[in-house]
C-alpha cells in the first residue's frame, strides 16, 4: 500500500504527488501517447487528450497566470474536478453526472477571478476564507458591470469550489456553510433567461435558400470543373510533403534557406519520375517553361526558386515531360452564364478549393441534421449504401453521449442522409490528404497534411470559412452566373451551429419545399428520423418539437384573431375549435426554462388544432377516424376521413375546397375517363359540396 509523504496530498482517495498524472480517471483518445500526459507539477496542463471532440480548440491550463500563493490549492481543486467521476458533487440544474473537460476549462477564468480577489485580501489558503469573505465577494460580483451571465458564472465558480470541499485536503476547503445560502447564482444576479431551450438563432429563410443553393452549385458544378487540375496539384504536393527533409519541414515555421529549397527540388524530381508526373508548364516568349506559380505551390517551394535559371535547367534536363497548362483550368460550366470567363491558375485555385470544402460542409451539416463537431470529425469511407432498403448511410462519432455509444455505423445506428450529402462527401474524399474530411490548416499547407488524420478543423475556423464563402460567392460567382446573391442575415453572420436549428425550422414549416431536384424537406425529415438523429439523445428531435411548438403558437394566435374578426367555423368540431381557442395558452412573454415545462405546454389540448389542405383537424385521439395505433398523438393525414368528428372548416378551408371542386369537376368531365374513376371523382365532389353548403352562415354546424 502506498503511503502519502508529508509533501503529498490526498484528493478523493487518490495520492497526489508532483509526478501524478493529471488525467487519471478520464477516458483518453486512442491515439494519445500516455507517456506524454501532463503531471501535477507541470506549469501547464494539457487537457486535450481527454476531449473526445478532436475539432475542439486547444484546452491547455497555464498555471503561471494564477496567484502563486493559491496556485497549489487551485491545482488540487482542478485535479478533483478532473478525477472525481463517481458520485461527483452536482450543482442545482446540472444535467450531467460530472463536469465535462470543456466545461471545466470554460469555467476556470471565473475561478481565477475569485482567487485574485482572495489574493488581494491577503488570503493564502481556502481554509482561511470566512462566510464574511464570501458575502463580500458576492457583493463585489453583483456590483460589477459585466453581463448577468458572466456574474452568474462568477458566483457558480465559488459554489462549485465549495461543493468539492469534502474531496479536498483540509487546507483547500471553504467554510462549511453553503456560499450565499440556498439562493441560486442566477437569482443572485437577476439572470432570468431560459436555461434549457436552444437560443441559437435560425438562419432566415430568405438567406438559407440562396445559401444552400450556392453550396449545392459549388459542390455539383464548380467542384466538378476544377477536379482534374485539383487532383494534379495535390498529387505533386503530396509527394513533395512525403520526400521533404526535416529542414524543409522546419522552414514552414521559420524562414526560407536556399540550399534547403534546392534540396527539395532534387528530392522531388526522382519521385515525380517514379510516379509518371510531368512538370506543369506555360507558354512564354522563350518557349515552354515550368509554371512558376503552379509548380511552386505543388513542389512546396517559393516562386523565386522555380524562376531561378539553375532550377529551371534542372527541371528541363531531368527527363520529366513539360505539360502546357497542366495546372490551369480553362473550361467552366454555365448556369445562365459560365461561372468564370478567364483561365484559373493555382494562385486562385487554392482559395476556391477551400470554398468548395466549405460548401461541402454546408451541405453535409445542414441536410443531415448533425452537430457541428460530428460533421467536422467525419472520416473517409463514412458513406455506405443499403441497396435493399434504398438508403444512404453515414457513419461517424456522436457528440454528447457516453463513450460506449459514441461510435455510429451501419452496424449500430448511422445517420440516414440524402444523395446530396453523399456527393459532398465524395468531393471531400477526393481532396483530403488523410482520413479526416475536414483537416485543420490552410489547403496545401504543411499543417493541412500533418493534421490530415489527427486534428479536424475547429468550429471557429469553419465560421470564418462560412463568412468568406458567402463573400466570395456573392462577389465572384453570383454576378457571373446570374445566381441570386446571398443576402445578409438579420441575426448576423452565418455560423455552423445555426444550420441545425434552421433545418428543424424548414422541416416543420416547409415540408414540401424543394432542396434540390426532387428532394423535399419532408423527405429529409423522414431520412433524418430514420437514423440516430431521430433518437432522443441526439438532440435533433427536441429542435423539431420546439419549432413545431412555435409554429402552433403562431397559428393559434392567427386563428384567434380571425375568429375575433368574424371568421365563420363549421363542421362537427366547430364548437370544440372555438372552445380551444378561448382557452388557448398565452405564449407572449413566457420563458421556457426546462424540458418538463416545454412538455407540459405541448400537452395543452389547444395546441391540437392542425390545419390541412382542405380542412382543419381539431384532434382528439378517442374520436379520430385516422387513429390506428395507441401512441399516435397527431392526425394521420394519409388516413383522413371526411366523416370524422374531429373536422372543422374555416373560411380559409372552404375557399380551398371551392378551388378543389372546380378541379374535380373538370377532371370528371374528361372524355373517355374510366367509369370507376369518374364515380370516385363524383363521390368526392359530392362530399366536399356538402361541406361548402353547410358552411353557409345560419346552417347547421353539422
Q: Helices marked H in 326-396 — which ranges?
A: 346-368, 372-376
Do 159 and 249 lie in one domain? The reply is no
The pLDDT assigned to 271 comes to 95
More confident residue, 52 or 538: 52
Q: H/E/C letters for each residue in 608-651? A: CEEECCCCEEECCHHHCCCCCCCCCCCCCHHHCCCCCCCEEECH
Same domain for 572 and 467, yes or no, is no
What proportion of the chain, given as a percentage, has pLDDT over 70? 83
Q: Which of 381, 341, 300, 333 is nearest to 226 (CA)?
A: 333
Which residue, 324, 359, 374, sits at the end of a domain?
324
Distance CA 279, CA 118 (A): 67
pLDDT, mean of residues 26-35: 82
Asked whether residue 195 carries a pLDDT value surpassing 90, the answer given is no
pLDDT of amino acid 139: 93
- Ranges of beta strands (E only) in 204-296 are 279-284, 287-290
- CATH code where residue 434 lies: 1.10.443
Same domain, 470 and 570: no
Q: Give the model's pLDDT for residue 599.
A: 55
Lowest-pLDDT range of 248-252, 414-418, 447-451: 248-252
Could you say which of 294, 324, 354 is where a domain stops? Answer: 324
Please tell me the distance from the alpha carbon of residue 599 to that of residue 588, in angstroms, as a whole number.
17
- The pLDDT value given to residue 402: 58
Which pLDDT score is estimated for 651?
A: 94
Q: How many degrees, rounded to 5, is the angle at CA 576 between CA 574 and CA 580?
A: 120
Q: Please count the other Cβ atoms lying within 10 Å of the Cβ belonging to residue 150.
A: 16
Confidence class of residue 255 from pLDDT cuts 50, 70 and 90? low
**Structure confidence at residue 546 (pLDDT):** 61
Q: How confident is the prediction for the chain on average, in pLDDT?
A: 84
For residue 204 the three cell numbers come to 432566415
| Choice among 280-294, 589-603, 682-696 with the minimum mean pLDDT | 589-603
Q: How confident is the model at residue 155 (pLDDT cuts 50, 70, 90)?
A: very high
Name the 3-class secondary structure at 515: strand
Q: Are residues 396 and 531 in the same domain?
A: yes
How sure is the predictor about 56, in pLDDT bands with cuts at 50, 70 and 90?
confident
> Do the bridges between strand 322-324 and strand 279-284 make them parallel or antiparallel, or are there none, so unpaired?
parallel
Note whether 383 and 353 are same-domain residues.
Answer: yes
Instruction: Point out the domain boundary residue: 487, 508, 538.
Output: 538
Q: How many domains would you assign to the chain?
A: 4
Share of the chain above pLDDT 90, in %: 49
Asked if residue 222 belongs to a domain, the reply is no
Within-domain flag for 354: yes
Phi-psi region of 344 (alpha: psi -120 to 50; beta: other; left: phi over 0): beta
Residue 211 lies in a domain: no
Instruction: Identify whether 218 is part of a domain.
Output: no
Q: Which of 12-26, 242-256, 680-694 has the lowest mean pLDDT?
A: 242-256
Q: What is the C-alpha to C-alpha distance for residues 362 and 499, in angstroms, rounded to an integer?
A: 8
Q: In what order do the strands lie in the sheet containing 383-386?
A: 383-386, 391-394, 415-417
Judgement on whether residues 497 and 550 belong to the same structural domain of the protein:
no
Please report the pLDDT score of residue 632 as a whole number: 62
Higher-confidence residue of 101 and 549: namely: 101
| Res. 235: pLDDT tops 90 | yes
Residue 528 in any domain: the answer is yes
Q: What is the pLDDT of residue 432?
A: 95
Would you give the distance in Å from CA 430 to the centre of its chain?
23
Are 301 and 309 in contact, with CB atoms under 8 Å apart?
A: no
Which pLDDT score, from 0 to 100, does residue 534 have? Answer: 40
**Does residue 541 register a pLDDT over 60?**
no
The pLDDT value recorded for residue 558 is 83
Q: How confident is the model at residue 535 (pLDDT cuts 50, 70, 90)?
A: very low
Selected residue with higher pLDDT from 632 and 692: 692
Q: How confident is the model at residue 517 (pLDDT cuts 50, 70, 90)?
A: very low
Range of the domain at 628: 541-695
**Residue whose grid cell is 523565386:** 304
Distance of CA 422 to the CA centre of its chain: 17
What pLDDT score was predicted for residue 591? Answer: 43
Q: Region 178-183: what's the mean pLDDT? A: 84
Q: What is the DSSP string of 516-567?
A: ETTEEHHHHHHHHHHSGGGSGGGSHHHHHHHHHHHHHHHHHHHHHHHHHTT-
552 in the same domain as 475: no
Coil, helix or strand for 385?
strand
Q: Which of 26, 15, 159, 160 is nearest to 84 (CA)?
A: 26
Cβ neighbours of residue 16 closer than 8 Å, sequence gap 6 or more: 8, 9, 10, 40, 76, 79
Instruction: Please indicate, yes or no, whether residues 129 and 264 belong to a single structural domain of this protein.
Output: no
Average pLDDT of the residues in 537-552: 60
**Residue predicted with more confidence, 122 or 247:** 122
Average confidence (pLDDT) over 636-662: 91
Average pLDDT over residues 86-99: 77
**pLDDT band at 625; cut points 50, 70, 90:** confident
CB of 20 closer than 8 Å to CB of 78? no
Report the pLDDT averaged over residues 76-89. Answer: 89
Can you tell me the distance from the alpha carbon of 369 to that of 84, in angstroms, rounded to the nearest whole number? 34
Measured CA to CA in angstroms, residue 581 lies from 159, 560, 607, 609 at distances of: 45, 6, 9, 9
| pLDDT at residue 594 is higher than 50 | no
Q: Do 578 and 556 reside in the same domain of the chain?
A: yes
Q: What is the pLDDT of residue 536?
A: 40
Q: What confidence tens digit (pLDDT) does each residue in 329-375 have?
A: 999 998 788 999 999 999 999 999 999 999 999 999 998 888 898 99
Q: Is residue 24 one of the residues assigned to a domain?
A: yes
Choose the most confident range, by mean pLDDT, from 138-147, 345-354, 576-585.
345-354
Identify the band that residue 194 occupies on the pLDDT scale cut at 50, 70 and 90.
very low
Is 472's pLDDT higher than 80?
yes
What integer is the mean pLDDT of 554-565?
84
pLDDT (0 to 100) of residue 590: 43
pLDDT digits (tens, 9 = 90+) for 387-439: 887 888 898 887 766 565 566 566 666 788 889 999 999 999 999 999 999 99
**What pLDDT does 518 receive?**
42
Whether 137 is covered by a domain: the verdict is yes
**Is residue 99 over pLDDT 80?**
yes
Contact 273, 320 (CB under 8 A): yes
Same domain, 533 and 555: no
**One domain, residues 554 and 499:** no
Both 176 and 264 in one domain: the answer is no
Band of residue 533 on the pLDDT scale cut at 50, 70, 90: very low
Amino acid at each position: 500500500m502506498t503511503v502519502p509523504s508529508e509533501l503529498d496530498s490526498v484528493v478523493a482517495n487518490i495520492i497526489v504527488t508532483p509526478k501524478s498524472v493529471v488525467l487519471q480517471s478520464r477516458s483518453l483518445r486512442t491515439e494519445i501517447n500516455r507517456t506524454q500526459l501532463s503531471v501535477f507539477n507541470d506549469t501547464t496542463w494539457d487537457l486535450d487528450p481527454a476531449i473526445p471532440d478532436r475539432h475542439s480548440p486547444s484546452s491547455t491550463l497555464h498555471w503561471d497566470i494564477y496567484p502563486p500563493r493559491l496556485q497549489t490549492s487551485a491545482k488540487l481543486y482542478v485535479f478533483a474536478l478532473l478525477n472525481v467521476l463517481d458520485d461527483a458533487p452536482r450543482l442545482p440544474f446540472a444535467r450531467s453526472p460530472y463536469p465535462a473537460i470543456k466545461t471545466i476549462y470554460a469555467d476556470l477564468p471565473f475561478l481565477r477571478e475569485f482567487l485574485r480577489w482572495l489574493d488581494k485580501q491577503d488570503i493564502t489558503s481556502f481554509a482561511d476564507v470566512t462566510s464574511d469573505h464570501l458575502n463580500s465577494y458576492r457583493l463585489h460580483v453583483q456590483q460589477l458591470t459585466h453581463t448577468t451571465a458572466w456574474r452568474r458564472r462568477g458566483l457558480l465558480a465559488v459554489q462549485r469550489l465549495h461543493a468539492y470541499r469534502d474531496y479536498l485536503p483540509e487546507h483547500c476547503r471553504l467554510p462549511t456553510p453553503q456560499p450565499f445560502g440556498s439562493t441560486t447564482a442566477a437569482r443572485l444576479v437577476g439572470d432570468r433567461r431560459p436555461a434549457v431551450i436552444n437560443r441559437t438563432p435560425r438562419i432566415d429563410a430568405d438567406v438559407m435558400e440562396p445559401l444552400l443553393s450556392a453550396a449545392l452549385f459549388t459542390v455539383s458544378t464548380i467542384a466538378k470543373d476544377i477536379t482534374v487540375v485539383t487532383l494534379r496539384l495535390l498529387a505533386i504536393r503530396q509527394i513533395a510533403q512525403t520526400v521533404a527533409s526535416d529542414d524543409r519541414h522546419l522552414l514552414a515555421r521559420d524562414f526560407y534557406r536556399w540550399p534547403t529549397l534546392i534540396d527539395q527540388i532534387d528530392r522531388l524530381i526522382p519521385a515525380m519520375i517514379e510516379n509518371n508526373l510531368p512538370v506543369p508548364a506555360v507558354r512564354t516568349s522563350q518557349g515552354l517553361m515550368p509554371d512558376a506559380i503552379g509548380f511552386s505551390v505543388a513542389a512546396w517551394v517559393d516562386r523565386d526558386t522555380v524562376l531561378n535559371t539553375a532550377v529551371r535547367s534542372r527541371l528541363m534536363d531531368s527527363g520529366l515531360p513539360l505539360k502546357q497548362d497542366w495546372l490551369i483550368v480553362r473550361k467552366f460550366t454555365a448556369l445562365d452564364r459560365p461561372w468564370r470567363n478567364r483561365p484559373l491558375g493555382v494562385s486562385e485555385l487554392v482559395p476556391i478549393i477551400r470554398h468548395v470544402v466549405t460548401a461541402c460542409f454546408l451541405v453535409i451539416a445542414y441536410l443531415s441534421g448533425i452537430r457541428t463537431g460530428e460533421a467536422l470529425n467525419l472520416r473517409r469511407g463514412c458513406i455506405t449504401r443499403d441497396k435493399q432498403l434504398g438508403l444512404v448511410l453515414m457513419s461517424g462519432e456522436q457528440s454528447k453521449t457516453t463513450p460506449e455509444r459514441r461510435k455510429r455505423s451501419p452496424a449500430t445506428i448511422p445517420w440516414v442522409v440524402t444523395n446530396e450529402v453523399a456527393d459532398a462527401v465524395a468531393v471531400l474524399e477526393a481532396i483530403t490528404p488523410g482520413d479526416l474530411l475536414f483537416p485543420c490548416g490552410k489547403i496545401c499547407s504543411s499543417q493541412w497534411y500533418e493534421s490530415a488524420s489527427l486534428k479536424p478543423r475547429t468550429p471557429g475556423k469553419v465560421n470564418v470559412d462560412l463568412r468568406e464563402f458567402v463573400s466570395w460567392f456573392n462577389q465572384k460567382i453570383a454576378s457571373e452566373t446570374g445566381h441570386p446573391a446571398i443576402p445578409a442575415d438579420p441575426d448576423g453572420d452565418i455560423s455552423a451551429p445555426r444550420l441545425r436549428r434552421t433545418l428543424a425550422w424548414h422541416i416543420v414549416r416547409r415540408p414540401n419545399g424543394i432542396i434540390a431536384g426532387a428532394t423535399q424537406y419532408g423527405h429529409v425529415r423522414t431520412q433524418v428520423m430514420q437514423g440516430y438523429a431521430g433518437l432522443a439523445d441526439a438532440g435533433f428531435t427536441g429542435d423539431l418539437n420546439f419549432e413545431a411548438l412555435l409554429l402552433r403558437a403562431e397559428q393559434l394566435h392567427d386563428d384567434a384573431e380571425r375568429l375575433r374578426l368574424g371568421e365563420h367555423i363549421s363542421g362537427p368540431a366547430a364548437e370544440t375549435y372555438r372552445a380551444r381557442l378561448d382557452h388557448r395558452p398565452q405564449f407572449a412573454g413566457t420563458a421556457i426554462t426546462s424540458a418538463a415545462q416545454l412538455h407540459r405546454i405541448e400537452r395543452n389540448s389547444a395546441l391540437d388544432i392542425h390545419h390541412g389542405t382542405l380542412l382543419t383537424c381539431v384532434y382528439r385521439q378517442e374520436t379520430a377516424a385516422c387513429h390506428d395505433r395507441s401512441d399516435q398523438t397527431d392526425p394521420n393525414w394519409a388516413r383522413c376521413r371526411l366523416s370524422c368528428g374531429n373536422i372543422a372548416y374555416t373560411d380559409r378551408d372552404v375557399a380551398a375546397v371551392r378551388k378543389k371542386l372546380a378541379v374535380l369537376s373538370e377532371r370528371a368531365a374528361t372524355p373517355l375517363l374510366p367509369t370507376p374513376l369518374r364515380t370516385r371523382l363524383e363521390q368526392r365532389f359530392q362530399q366536399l359540396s356538402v361541406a361548402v353548403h353547410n358552411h353557409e352562415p345560419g346552417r347547421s354546424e353539422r
